[in-house]
A and B are shown apart, each in its own frame.
Chain A
Amino acid sequence: MSEAVADVLRKLTVVFTEFEGRLEQTPLIRKLTRGRFELADYQAFLVQLRQQVKDGALWMSRAASNIDEAHMELRSTLMRHAVTEHRDFRLLEADYVATGGDVNLIRSGEKNIGSEALSAWMFHEASGPNPFGLLGAMWIIEGLGSIKAQEWGRKVKETLALPDEAVRFLLYHGENDAEHIEEFKAMLAMVLPDESVARRIVKTAQVTARLYALQIEEIVA
C-alpha cells in the first residue's frame, strides 16, 4: 500500500476517533450509554436518520455524475454504492413502524439544524468536478455503519426491550468492517497520491463529522 494512502487513512482514523468522542458527549448518546434511553429518543433518532440516509444515495449519485473519464473505476464504485443504498431509508421506516410509530410521521419528518447543514454540505461537495473529497465523508458515514450501528442497535434493543424488527437498520445494516476498509483503500488508491486531494479528503471528513455530530446533538425527544 502506498505511503500516500497510509497517510490519509491515518489522518482519517484520527478524525473518526475524535468524532466518536464527540458523539459520546451528545445528550442523545449519553442517555443511551447511561441506560436512560426512551422510545421517544429512538423514534426521534430514526426520523433524522431516515432523511439523511435517503439523501446519501442521492449525493453519491450526483458525485458519480461529476467524476471524469480518467476515474471511471471510482465512478463505478460510487454508482454501485448508490444503488446498494438508495432504498435503505425504507428499512428505517419499517423499523419506525415496528416501534409503534406512524409511517406518515417519519416520512414527513423535518430535518433538524444539523441534518439540514449536513445534507446541504454533501450536495454542495458532490456538485463540483471530481468531488474526491467525498471519500472523507464516506469514511465517516460508513464508519458509523461498520463501527457504531451495531453497538447502538444492541443497546437500543436491550434498553427498550424492542423486537429485532424494530432495530433492523442498526443491527443488520452494518457492513463487514474488514471488507469495508479494503474497498475504501482501493478507492483512495484511485485518487492518490495527490496532495490537494489528500487534504480535501481529510477536510471533508472533518466537516462531515462535525455536522453529523451536530445532527445528533440537535435530537431532543
Chain B
Amino acid sequence: MQRLAQAYITGVGAFLPGAPVTNDRIEDHLGRIAGRDSLFGKKALRWNGVESRHYSMAPDGGVSHTNAQMCALALSQALERAGLGVGDLGMLAAATTQGDYFVPGHAAAVHAELRAPPLEIASFQSVCGSSLMAAKAAWNSVRTGEHRVAAACAGEFSSRFFRPSFYEGTTLVDEKGRLRPEADFLRFTLSDGAGAIAIEDKPRPGALKIDFIDIVSLANRFDPCMWAGAAIETRADMMTSWAHVGPRAAHHAGAIALLQDFELLKRVIRAWIGVYLQKVDEGRIVPSEIDHCLVHYSAKSLRAEIVSLLEDTAGMVPEAKWFSVLREKGNVGSASIWLMLEGLVQSGRIKSGEKLLCVVPESGRALVGFMVLEAV
C-alpha cells in the first residue's frame, strides 16, 4: 500500500458570539421555565465548573449569528491565520450536534456562509465527537493527496433549544413548574460558538502535525446517554422516536429537547476510561510523552477515585499539563476542542517538538475520540 502523506494543522480559529454571560445571568438570556428560577441550576454549575459562556440568542429572542455563520467566522480566522484564503480550500468538513436546518447537512450551510467557490463538503452530525469525525475526514483528504488544503469546523447553537417553549406544556415540567434534571442540567451546561482548523500538506512555522485521530464508539453497549428526539423512558426503543408519533405528540412527550441520563453517564465515564487505558496499554498513547493535555471534560468533575485510578494505572497526564477553556468560554459541545486548541496555540505556550493529546468524550451514545498532535 502506498504510504499516506503527512498533514498539518496550520491555522486554528474560534468564534464566540456576543459578550460573556456570567452564571447569575443565564436565565435572563434563556428565559425561565414557568416564570421561575431553576432550583437545579446551581447544582449543575457546581458539577460542570463553567463560570462564563456566550449565547447567539439575545434575551428577547433575537439571533446574532446562526450556527453556520459562527462556523464560517471561525473558519475565516483559521484560514487567515494559516495565510490562506477561501479560494485555497479544496475540502470542508463541518460538524455540529444540530445544524440550523434538519435538512440539508451542516456543511452546505457553512459553505454558503463562507462564500467559498465550489468545493468538496462533508457533514458530520453527532455530539462533541463530531468535531474529530470532521477533522479526520479533512485530514484524510489531505493525506491521500486529494486536496492540498482542507478545513474542519464545528459549531453549536444550543441556546435555541433551551428556551422555555421547548419544555413548557410537556411532561418534562411537573405541576410545580420544575423542569426535570435530565433537561435542566444541559440548559446550565451548554452554550454557543464555533471553532475551526485548516489542514495542509506542508508545515508552516507553528504548525501541528497530526499523528493520529482515533474514534471509538461504544454504542453497542449503551442506550442513549445524551439525546434529543425521544422521550426519557422510551428512548431505547427507536420505534417510538419523535417523527413516528408526529411533532405535536413528540413535543408533549418531552422528545423535542436535549436530555442527559446521569446514572448512565457514570457508567459511560468508566467505559471512556477503559478505552483510554487500552490505548495506553497498546502504546498508542504514552502519557509521559504528552506535554499538553486538552480534555473536553474538566478534571474537577472527574471523581477523585478516577484520578487516582489513572495514577495507579500509569495512565494519568499530570494535571499541571492539562489545558482547558471550559470554565471561561463554556462547554460548546463539538466546538470545545477547537476552542481549547485555539486558546493554547494563541497563548504561545507550545514549543517545537512538544506533543499534544486531545481527548473528546461524547456521552451521546458513548463515544470517545483521541487526537495526538506534534508541534513542528
- Do they bind each other? yes
Point out residues on A near B: beta carbons under 8 Å: 1, 3, 6-7, 9-11, 13-14, 16-18, 20-22, 24-25, 30, 33-35, 147, 151, 155, 177-178, 181, 185
B319 interface residue (CB < 8 Å to A): no
- Would you mind naming 27 contact pairs between A and B with Cβ atoms under 8 Å apart? A1-B312, A6-B312, A7-B314, A10-B277, A10-B281, A11-B281, A13-B309, A13-B313, A14-B277, A16-B274, A17-B270, A17-B277, A20-B267, A21-B218, A21-B222, A24-B221, A24-B267, A25-B221, A30-B236, A34-B223, A34-B236, A151-B263, A151-B267, A155-B263, A178-B308, A181-B308, A181-B312
B264 touches A33 (CB 8 A): yes
Give the CA-CA distance A24 to B275 in the complex, in Å: 16
Return chain A residues, CB-CB under 8 Å to B264. Answer: 33
Return chain A residues, CB-CB under 8 Å to B314. Answer: 3, 6-7, 10
Return chain A residues, CB-CB under 8 Å to B223. Answer: 33-34
Return chain A residues, CB-CB under 8 Å to B222. Answer: 21, 24
Given contacts A20-B267, A33-B264, contact A9 B313 (CB under 8 A): yes
Residue of B nearest to A3 (CB): B314
Return chain A residues, CB-CB under 8 Å to B274. Answer: 13-14, 16-18, 20-21
Instruction: Kindly supply a per-residue 1/0 record for chain B positions 307-347, scoring 1 wherever the CB is within 8 Å of any chain A CB and 0 otherwise.
Output: 01100111100000000000000000000000000000000
Given contacts A177-B305, A178-B308, contact A17 B315 (CB under 8 A): no
B278 touches A14 (CB 8 A): yes
Given contacts A14-B274, A24-B222, contact A9 B267 (CB under 8 A): no
Give the CA-CA distance A198 to B267 in the complex, in Å: 27
A25 touches B308 (CB 8 A): no
Q: How far, in Å, is A193 (CB) from chain B's closest CB?
A: 14
Q: How far, in Å, is A169 (CB) from chain B's closest CB?
A: 20
A21 touches B271 (CB 8 A): yes
Give the CA-CA distance A92 to B315 in the complex, in Å: 37
Residue of B nearest to A177 (CB): B305
B277 touches A20 (CB 8 A): no
B218, B220, B281, B312: the one within 8 Å of A14 (CB)? B281
Return chain A residues, CB-CB under 8 Å to B280. Answer: 10
- Tell me which residues from 341 to 366 in chain B have a Cβ below 8 Å from any Cβ of chain A: none
